Amino acid sequence: MHKLGNILKEMMKGILSPFISVLLAFFVSGILLLLVGTNPLEAYSSLLNGAFGSSHRIGETIIKAIPFIILGLGISVAFKAQIWNIGADGQFTLGAIFAMIVALYLPFSNIIKMPLSFIAAFVGGACWGGIAAFLKTKFNANEVITTLMLNYIAFYLLEWLVKGPMMDPNGHGFPQTALIHENLRLPIILKGTRLHLGILLAVILIIGGYYFWKTVLGFKIEVVGQSPYVAEYSGIKVNKTIGITMCISAGLAGLAGWTEVFGLHYRLLENISGGYGNLAIVVALLAGLNPFGIIISAFFFAALVVGGNSMQRMVGVPFSLVDVIQGLVIIFIISRVIYTRWREQNHGKNTVNSIYYKLIRKFSKDEYADSTCSTR
Amino acid sequence: MEKILSTAFIISLLESSVRMSTPILLAALGEIYTQRSGILNLGLEGIMLMGAFGGFAGAYFTGNLWIGVLVSIIVGILFSLIMAFLSVTVRANQVIAGTAMTILGGGLATFLFRMAFGIQKLPPSVEAFKSIEIPVLSKIPILGPVLFNQNALVYLALISVVVCAVVLEKTTFGLKIRAVGEHPKAADSKGINVYSIRYICVMIGGAFGGLSGAFLSIGFMNTYLDQMTAGRGFIAVAVVIFSRWNPYRALGGAFVFGFANALQLRLQTIGFPVPHQFLLALPYLLTILVLISISKKAEFPSAFTVAYNRGER
């Protein structure tokens, strides 16, 4: 019974602090809205209505959550190893391009093309991320900047492809590729919405992600993240692990591109990644890099994006408010440490830690205990 | 080919290279202070966007470009305070803090712009900074039109290079910054306030970032556009590493990017037989190449990205 209580308490702690960060972000954005003369309650209620107002809208929200879940999972893998992969956008794009090449140009039957395009998407993303990993391990080039620059390069590569070599010959000059064959499309699982089977894939990947951290490789990645020196000393090949981590992270981003093309658009369009990469970072951070948390935070941000679009239409509040909320969420998440630190220092009487140290001080006379108290 | 080799073409190419390198140079100069004090501010992109908006709004509502510049600097400083708070006081991971700053800055600038100006058929605009021909000097062949027929902000950036070099190398303040970046513990024991030096350096970086944004909105263009920085903030960070934290070398690094940008534009207009998307991607590719060539040799400040905690031993 006692143990169950502890678990519940831990879970509450896991949910409560991101929840407070989100609440604060909404609060500050609300003040911002007031300052520019908009009623925040009106804006937020139109946001809520836009995301959940009808079964179609709920479907749209779930659809948006699919790429966020997969991208967030990918980002979380890299971030656990303290590799700052900011390039999910580009990896997503390359995954979509690779998959599309398989679907449109390779002379196989659809039964072979389906799994092959899936693999190609993973490989496409992994290659793009692999470049950054190679440059990091070989030349010590900062991966934040390289992955970001690769985003821009991927963006222009896609633009060139859909306006040039991959443009739909029967598309009247629209910058897009031909549609993929109907048998290749992910089936819609809920009538009246566009919700496709990709959601199942997302959930499977999340469960896989949960078990991945229990494997030897998952453990190695975590150790590299916590301390590359410790990892080196314990015989983990750090550079190899960085490469593998980056390829998994980027490969997952590529898979997100696959679901978006095969489940939703059925073709390549300009700027298909639509800035999801940045959002995925916020998704992963809000979830504390926890696989199951990612599902919740991906749904939350999907609702924010879908609702934000309708908020712009209905109340005239610019969609960029959603970006503001995202930025604030991260800021409040990383600032909450200061709150705990402040509590430990000033109001220490109430925290578990200080009670523990008080007990030590009371029951032992040795100086060591005292010195531990003072450094706290 | 003849078009490419004519003197007029080369002069106009170099002239626009100098102009295009200016925002990167300004942002890089500020980031040199920030990084020398041991902090990596990856939120430069967001600060620049806020500065671009602030500069434009200031100039638009007062009708005075210099007030716009002043507003952009103030906005840059105030916005960078968040980064200073996160990296120095909270001791947060600087990459994550920088990402938050970039997302927040881009979102906030666009939000405020939309709320202030609404959606109009013709975007609101101001009379941007005009080129000032400096007498005598502008008559020097090639160098004259390239360097001495630019707008006031370009001159300001070029002067800032010298000022920054002197401040960083020759003053006690510069020495303190380096001490804080190399060995905060020792600096602290000498009575230098590590926290306040770092706060000041991040804010100087913010001031330059804001100014760099203003150059884009009221010096280079005459309006504010969403995401008009187009990754220049991150390119500036790469330039800082390339320059090994030296303002003069930053000038060279920024010029290389300005050149790539200007070349790309010129080649597009004369119908160079390469898809223009490849040319557009050129500056970003160049950034990666620059990072490869320099990162192995670069000696980062010892306390780079390490938050200082006074109580810790």
Whether A330 contacts B100, CB under 8 Å: yes
Mean pLDDT of A304-327: 92
Do B100 and A327 make contact, defined as CB atoms within 8 angstroms?
yes
Helical spans, DSSP H, in chain A: 2-35, 40-52, 55-80, 88-105, 110-139, 143-163, 198-212, 216-226, 228-233, 238-260, 276-286, 291-314, 320-346, 352-363, 367-375
Report CB contact under 8 Å: A323, B103.
Answer: yes
Name the minimum distance, in Å, from the CA of B284 to any CA of chain A: 5
User: B133 by DSSP, 3-state: which?
Assistant: strand
Cα–Cα distance, A226 to A114 (Å, whole number): 38
**Residue boundaries of the structural domains of chain B:** 23-119+148-244
CB contact A269 to B (< 8 Å): no
CA distance A279 to chain B (A): 9
Give the gap in angstroms from C-alpha A89 to the nearest C-alpha of chain B.
Answer: 14
* Listed residue (B218, B285, B274, B241) closest to B23, CA to CA: B218
Q: Model confidence over B259-279: pLDDT tens digits?
A: 988 988 888 888 778 888 888
What pLDDT shows up at residue B291? 87
Do A338 and B90 make contact, defined as CB atoms within 8 angstroms? yes
Closest chain B C-alpha to A319 CA, distance in angstroms: 8
Q: Is 80 exceeded by the pLDDT of residue B98?
A: yes
Which amino acid belongs to residue A258? W
Residues B282-295: what's their mean pLDDT?
88
- Work out the burial of residue B7: count CB atoms within 10 Å of its CB; fewer than 13 is exposed, 13-18 middle, 19 or more buried: exposed
pLDDT, tens digit (0-9, with 9 covering 90-100), for A144-180: 889 999 999 999 999 999 998 898 888 888 888 988 9
Residue B302: its pLDDT value, please?
82
- Contact (CB<8Å) B234/A149: yes
Q: Look at phi and psi of residue B300 and say left if phi exceeds 0, alpha if psi is from -120 to 50, else beta.
A: beta
Token duo for residue A127: 């290659």
Which residues of A are less than 8 Å from B108 in CB distance?
A: 320, 323-324, 327
Return the pLDDT at B80. Answer: 96
What's the pLDDT score for residue B138?
79
Local confidence band at A2 (pLDDT 50, 70, 90 cut-offs): low
Handedness of CA A327, A328, A333, A339 (dihedral sign): positive
Report, as an integer, the average pLDDT of A5-27. Answer: 80
pLDDT one-digit tens code per residue, A228-237: 888 888 888 9
The residues facing B190 across adjacent strands are: none
- How close is the nearest chain A Cα to the Cα of B108, in Å? 6
Report pLDDT digits (tens) over B214-234. 999 999 989 999 999 999 999
Flag if A322 and B296 touch (Cβ within 8 Å).
no
pLDDT digits (tens, 9 = 90+) for A114-148: 999 999 999 999 999 999 999 999 998 889 889 99
- Residues of A (84-113) whose Cβ lies below 8 Å from B: 84, 86
Which residue type, as a one-letter code, is found at position A375?
T
B164 in Cβ contact with B32 (< 8 Å): yes
Q: Residue A347: which pLDDT band, with cuts at 50, 70 and 90?
A: low
Q: For B113, phi and psi rounded to 5 degrees?
A: -60, -45
Here the ipTM equals: 0.92
Best of B35, B104, B306 to disrupt the A interface (most A CBs within 10 Å) is: B104
Residues of A in contact with B46 (CB under 8 A): 327
pLDDT averaged over every residue in chain A: 86
Asked if the Cβ–Cβ distance from A337 to B91 is below 8 Å, we say yes
Residue to substitute from B113, B234, B240, B312, interface A, most A β-carbons within 10 A: B234
Q: Does A345 touch chain B (CB under 8 A)?
A: no
Tokens in use for B167?
A: 């401040």
Which residues of chain A have a CB within 8 Å of the CB of B57?
A: none
> Which of A139, A160, A331 has its CB closest to that of B82?
A331
* A232 or A72: which leads in pLDDT: A72
Q: What letter would DSSP give residue B124?
A: P
Only one residue has tokens 């000033």, namely A346
Query: A281-297 pLDDT, tens per residue?
Result: 999 999 989 999 999 99
Chain A residues 311-340 with a CB less than 8 Å from chain B: 318, 320-328, 330-331, 334-335, 337-338
Confidence at residue B306, expressed as pLDDT on a 0 to 100 scale = 82
CB contact under 8 A, A331 and B104: yes
- Report pLDDT digits (tens) over A24-71: 999 999 999 999 888 999 999 999 999 998 888 999 999 999 999 999
Q: Please indicate whether, in this complex, the C-beta atoms of B115 and A140 are within 8 angstroms of each other.
A: no
The continuous run of DSSP H or E covering B207 comes out as: helix B194-214
DSSP secondary structure letters along A254-314: HHHHHHHIIIIISS-BTTTTTTHHHHHHHHHHHTTT-HHHHHHHHHHHHHHHHHHHHHHHH
Enumerate the residues of chain A whose CB falls inside 8 A of the CB of residue B107.
320-327
B20-54 per-residue burial string, b: 16 or more CB within 10 A, e: under 16: bbbbbbbbbbbbbbbbbbbbbbbbbbbbbbbbbbb
Q: Do A139 and B292 lie within an 8 Å CB cutoff?
A: yes
* Facing residue for B281 by CB, picked from A139, A152, A164: A152
Contact assignment for B93 to A330 by CB distance below 8 Å:
no
Nearest CA in chain A to B100: A327
Chain A contact set for B82 (CB, 8 A): 331
Number of cross-chain residue pairs from A and B with Cβ atoms under 8 Å apart: 140
Q: CB distance B89–A326 less than 8 Å?
A: no
A270 CB within 8 Å of a chain B CB: no
